[in-house]
Structure 1
Amino acid sequence: MEEVTEEAVGTTAYTVKRYPVAPGHRLNVRSGPGTNYSLVKVLAEGVRVPINCQKPGQTITGPYGTTNLWDNIANGQYVSDAYVNTGSDGYVAVRCS
């Protein structure tokens, strides 16, 4: 389900978990946790995304249910958790501040 990779930053290695986006979906990446935020980019089908942190926002229904959780995949980039296969209905990462 998740892909774990080791990445080195400076002299410190850390583990990055990447989760698959729902098959057959190109996923919109927003600047905040809702569709009212600007579109940053569209992810291709079959990608895996890191989840740096999560925060509540607009409720979305997708292939993995209905949720108000949004996943931060990079600075200023959010995707609805309803389209990411985390294996959980709740938080899998720390809450974004």
Structure 2
Amino acid sequence: MAPGYRLNVRSGPGTVYSLVRVLPEGAMVPIYCQTPGSTVTGPYGTSNIWDNISNGQYVSDAYVNTGSDGYVADRCS
């Protein structure tokens, strides 16, 4: 995750979904799968990819340092 940022965790892949929790600065997150959603601009660019980090919990890939602008995990089903 981007240093210096707290990250909103949403119930779905987009900013319209409810806020589940906020991750502290520098938190490490697992990426179980990825899915398209609303477009977000963050420290790692602009992306519509959302990372599933737990059951019903998503974060914008624009705030996660995956080393890629594309998909790095399987698509969520």
TM-score under structure 1 length normalisation: 0.79
Q: Which has the higher contact order (CA 8 A, sep 6+)?
A: 2
Structure 2, unaligned stretches of length 5 or more?
none
- Computing the radius of gyration over CA atoms, which structure comes out larger, 1 or 2? 1
Q: Which residue of structure 2 aligns with residue 85 of structure 1?
A: 65
Deviation at 1:91, TM superposition (A): 0.5
CA positional deviation for 1:54? 0.1
Contiguous gaps of at least 5 residues in structure 1: 1-20
The secondary structure found in structure 2 opposite 1:50 is coil
Runs of 4+ residues deviating >2 angstroms? none
The match for 1:72 is: 52
Residue type of the alignment partner of 1:28: N
Amino acid at match of 1:58: S
Count of aligned pairs between the two proteins = 77
Where do residues 6-25 of structure 1 align in structure 2 (5 Å cutoff)?
Answer: 21-25=1-5
State the superposition RMSD in angstroms: 0.3
Equivalent in the alignment of 2:27: 47
1:57 lines up with 2:29 in the alignment: no
**Whose strand proportion is higher, 1 or 2?**
1
- Find the aligned partners of 2:51 and 2:62 in 1 and give their Cα distance: 10
SS in 1 for 2:41: strand
TM-score computed with the length of structure 2 as normaliser: 0.99
Shift of 1:90: 0.5
